[in-house]
Amino acid sequence: MKIIDAKVIVTCPGRNFVTIKIMTDEGLYGIGDATLNGRELAVASYLTDHLIPCLIGRDAGQIEDIWQFFYRGAYWRRGPVGMTAIAAIDMALWDIKAKAANMPLYQLLGGRSRTGVMVYGHANGTGIEETVAEVGRYIDMGYKAIRAQCGVPGLPSTYGVSKDRMFYEPADNDLPSENMWDTAAYMAHVPKLFEELRDTYGYSHHLLHDVHHRLTPIEAGRLGKDLEPFRLFWLEDAVTAELQEGFRLIRQHTTTPLAVGEVFSSIHDCHQLISEQLIDYIRTTIVHGGGITSLRRIAHLAELYHVKTGFHGATDLSPITMGAALHFDTWVPNFGIQEYMRHTPETDEVFPHDYEFRDGYLYVGDTPGHGVDINEELAAKYEYKRAYLPVNRLRDGTMFNW
Ligand code: KDG
Ligand code: MG
């Protein structure tokens, strides 16, 4: 089956999404997500100007060879823009292969390892009381696992606390808005939130927390230790992870499980973290980590070292990534959990899909492929709108991690 054409579709049903559609001479097509929040057009150009011309005429079934061609053949390896572009092609080719086999993708990967995929939702509020009430709302909706984020006294805004109760959208401006950060205020506040949560709801639900790269290893060790009585499912992105060995220091000080990896683009970003057992969950997901072909390698490496998957699933990853990830989650032996931030109805309409949420779990359907499509006519109605993630500064004005 030959690839005869491929195109990039940019749409903004409330937020920007980039999609590749690959067509074959047998009439089958596949779609892949190429969305990189705040850098969408760079990936669109990487695909249109550099990868698509090399795709035409290739055998759509040679997924591994095409992956290697674009990874090794680029000479300039890795990096989020390039790996997101490769991921999009890879997702679309797996979609085509599964459609050609008349199978849902999880069957092609090795079949079902579980009936449903446990997901975690996002509860947040400006203060502790509001966040505790929100967690209650998620429990009422059936969630078994909930991430809790809370405003910090003295800071006008904080990562993870949304303006909209239903949908959190961090890319909030056409130029980066500026947030302010205070580590001491945050470190003093977070344990109070989790104490209140456990006092209110007990220990029957999983609770998670995202630090969003704001601490140093020794600070993270202290926070992890302070949170130990509240038995978190995980503490996420406690520090930036360019220095993988930095996690050793956190590990020496706390038994709170650690998750990291949503910004990683390849296995080399987490090789040491995994092989030295410095983390418990790897969050790198299909769209930013080079696709299903690449994530399979990461998951297998992780399995050897008792590390489980915990795929990133924020709203800036399109429903295509969610569909592909859910098939992967349904198969992968060392599955941990899947993040699930609901997309808006406009987004769901542009990307019709067959997965559904029931009682704390997401279930994939049996549509051949990854089960997600794109309504191109509708997509064309939503024009690209530049949007940036915020940046962060300390109280004295120093640039910091967002
Ligand atoms: O684009 C950035 C978001 O995906 C990120 O801020 C969300 O940290 C995030 C998470 O855990 O979902
Ligand atoms: Mg995160």
Give tens-digit pLDDT for 186-244.
999 999 999 999 999 999 999 999 999 999 999 999 999 999 999 999 999 999 999 99
pLDDT score for 163: 73
pLDDT score for 101: 98
Cβ neighbours around 367 below 10 Å, total: 18
Provide, rounded to the nearest whole percent, the portion of the chain with pLDDT above 90: 96
pLDDT score for 190: 98
Nearest CA to 153 out of 112, 204, 114, 189 is that of 189
pLDDT digits (tens, 9 = 90+) for 46-67: 999 999 999 999 999 999 999 9
Beta carbon of 122 within 6 Å of any ligand 1 atom: no
Based on its alpha-carbon atoms, the radius of gyration of the chain, rounded to whole angstroms, reads 20
* The pLDDT of residue 184 is above 90: yes
pLDDT score for 157: 84
Q: What pTM, to 2 d.p., does this model score?
A: 0.97
DSSP letter assigned to residue 47: I
Q: Indicate which residue's Cα is closest to atom 3 of ligand 1.
A: 314
pLDDT digits (tens, 9 = 90+) for 101-115: 999 999 999 999 999
In the CATH scheme, what architecture does the domain 3-104 have? 2-Layer Sandwich (3.30)
13 near 379, Cβ under 8 Å? yes
pLDDT score for 24: 98
Domain-by-domain residue ranges, the chain?
3-104, 108-367
Cα(236) to centroid(ligand 2), Å: 6
- Decide whether 3-104 matches 108-367 in CATH topology: no
Ligand 1, closest atom to CA 283?
11
Q: Indicate which residue's Cα is closest to atom 8 of ligand 1.
A: 212
Confidence band of 159 (pLDDT split at 50, 70, 90):
confident
Cα(312) to centroid(ligand 2), Å: 7
Which chain residues have CB less than 5 Å from ligand 2, an ion?
A: 210
Provide, rounded to the nearest whole percent, the portion of the chain with pLDDT above 70: 99
**Got the DSSP string for 323-348?**
HHHHHHHHH-TTEEEEE--PPPHHHH
Q: Indicate which residue's Cα is closest to atom 7 of ligand 1.
A: 314
> Lowest mean pLDDT: which of 3-12, 123-132, 169-178, 352-361?
169-178
Average pLDDT over residues 321-326: 98
Nearest CA to 15 out of 31, 36, 44, 45 is that of 36
* The pLDDT of residue 153 is above 70: yes
Give the active site residue among 205, 206, 212, 288.
Answer: 212
pLDDT digits (tens, 9 = 90+) for 344-374: 999 999 999 999 999 999 999 999 999 999 9
pLDDT score for 172: 84
Give the active site residue among 29, 71, 143, 159.
Answer: 159
Average pLDDT over residues 337-341: 97
Q: Is the dihedral of CA 131, 135, 137, 143 positive or negative?
A: positive
* The pLDDT of residue 167 is above 80: no
Distance CA 389, CA 402 (A): 9
Average pLDDT over residues 171-189: 95
Can you read off the two tokens belonging to residue 228?
């130990």
pLDDT score for 251: 97
| CATH fold for the domain made of 108-367 | TIM Barrel (3.20.20)
Q: Let me know if 288 is a catalytic residue.
A: no
* Mean model confidence pLDDT for the chain: 97
pLDDT score for 165: 67
User: What is each CA distance from 103 to 3, 71, 385, in whole angstroms?
Assistant: 20, 28, 36
User: What is each CA distance from 172 to 126, 127, 386, 389, in whole angstroms?
Assistant: 17, 21, 10, 6
